[in-house]
Amino acid sequence: MNLHEYQARDILRRYGIPIPPGEVAETPEQALEIAQRLAGTGGGREGRGGRVVVKAQVHASGRGKAGGVKLAKDAAEAGEHAARILGMSIKGLPVRRVLVTPAAEIASESYLGIIVDRASQRPVLMVSPAGGVDIEEVAAKTPERIHRLAVDPRYGLLAHQALGLALKLYREMPQARAAADIMQRLYAAFYAVGASLMEINPLVTTPDGTVAALDAKIVVDDNELERHPEIAALRDPSAEAPSEVQARQAGLTFIKLEGSVGCCVNGAGLAMATMDLVKYYGGEPANFLDIGGSSNPQKVVDALRIITADRSVRSILFNIFGGITRCDDVANGIVQATQQFPMKVPLVIRLTGTNEALAIEILTKAGFSALTDMDEAVKQAVAKARAA
């Protein structure tokens, strides 16, 4: 689950990370009013001269480059920026809210991030002195400018480790100490909320030497949400892909991808193997979809409704290995779905296992054919996606 920047900021602030204050607006008038208020309370380093930043709150990175982060010299200009940003879509996601925050003066921009790393099976802290909007380019072109440390979760991020990394960012000791402190707090927050990613980019220094976070990104592992109702409550379905929201409501594990072969599979492992095989035969999966272990024709109907709504889908591949899942339930689901809405793209159905013969009978009666060989089915689905 993705959090919005303003939500991520609140969490990091609770863990003692210095982040300028800010408020969320849904209209240009609200943005203007917040900017006026921030200018009134400012006076110090923050909000000097009433300058504020207006920031699109969407689940997309690279907002700055897309024009979704704008500096305003006063409240009136903040309102104008808000009007423009609230009318934008960034990477297909409409902007419904903006964050208005006092503008900081920036002397340097660094990058700080923690991810769960599969290779080392640990949280890995990454830092780079080359932070800002081009961190992807830094990673691609000058990877030596990104420093990594795998953290042993038994001990957490130790002070000397944090300071060692902080010294890769700043030569001056007060700033290095401040950055090290932020890293330890970030790790504590990461561990406590069950994040799979936490990122501060940019971590800035101001001309007077203060270190602060100006942006925050948090992704929380969906499997942690049951343990963290307060985080689960932050979910904003209006900011998520509609297909993923529908799938969650239907009890399906679904991830939208960019390809053209729609996949409907039972079991996460088989779903992964199916996607691998689609790629192996030169296709691209349009989604990951696990209809789950339990048997229920309605789940198949829901799955097909979601997959067929995706206009980039050119063929749909069913790959069912019947165990607890009964093949006849899946077959009935397919038949019911075709009665409820038109199937505009070819279906390739492979099923084997529990009640296979019954399933084939149901499908044949409804005019479908079914395969039992997985390789053959994937090949056909890829070929049909290509031909369409």
Active-site residue list: 111, 199
Residue 294 structure tokens = 């339990």
46 binds ligand GDP (CB under 6 A): no
Q: Which residue has the tokens 């397919």?
A: 334
- The DSSP element (H or E) to which 196 belongs, if any, is strand 195-205
Q: Does 366 bind ligand GDP (CB under 6 A)?
A: no
- The residues binding Mn ion (CB under 5 A) are 201, 215
Taking CB under 6 A as the binding criterion, the range among 58-66, 153-161, 311-319, 347-355 that sits at the site for ligand GDP is 58-66
- Closest by CA to 265, choosing from 318, 192, 197, is 318
Q: Considering only residues 7, 57, 201, 296, which one is a binding residue for ligand GDP as defined by CB under 6 A?
A: 201
User: Which backbone phi and psi does 203 adopt, to 5 degrees?
Assistant: -95, 120
Cα–Cα distance measured from residue 109 to residue 127, given in angstroms and rounded to the nearest whole number: 11
Tokens 């923690």 locate to 114
Query: Is 215 one of the binding residues for ligand GDP (CB under 6 A)?
Result: yes
1 near ligand GDP, judged by CB under 6 A: no
Work out whether 64 is an interface residue with ligand GDP (CB under 6 A).
yes
202 binds ligand GDP per the rule CB under 6 A: yes
Residues in the chain, how many?
388
Instruction: Compare residues 103 and 382 and give the one whose CB is closer to ligand GDP.
Output: 103
Cis peptide before 202 (omega within 30 of 0): yes
Q: How far is the CB of 45 from ligand GDP (least distance, A)?
A: 11
Q: Decide which of ligand GDP, Mn ion, none touches 185; Cβ closer than 5 to 8 Å per partner kind.
A: none
In the complex, least distance from residue 88 CB atom to ligand GDP, rounded to whole angstroms: 13
Please report whether residue 302 would count as binding ligand GDP according to CB under 6 A. Answer: no
Cis peptide before 94 (omega within 30 of 0): no
Size of the site for ligand GDP (CB under 6 A): 18
Rg, Å, the chain Cα set:
25
Residue number, nearest CB to ligand GDP: 64
Helix/strand number for the chain, H first, E second: 13, 18
Q: Is the CB of residue 123 less than 8 Å from the CB of residue 195?
A: no
Among 83, 116, 133, 197, binds ligand GDP (CB under 6 A): 133
Residues 314, 388 contacting (CB under 8 angstroms): yes
Which stretch of DSSP H or E encloses residue 381? helix 374-387
Candidate list 77, 109, 328, 356; residue touching ligand GDP; CB under 6 A: 109
| 106 forms part of the interface with ligand GDP (CB under 6 A) | yes
C-alpha–C-alpha distance, residues 18 and 210, integer Å: 9
Q: Does 42 bind ligand GDP (CB under 6 A)?
A: no
Least distance between ligand GDP and beta carbon 105 (Å): 6
Residues interacting with ligand GDP, by CB under 6 A? 53, 55, 61-64, 69, 71, 103-104, 106, 109, 132-133, 201-202, 214-215
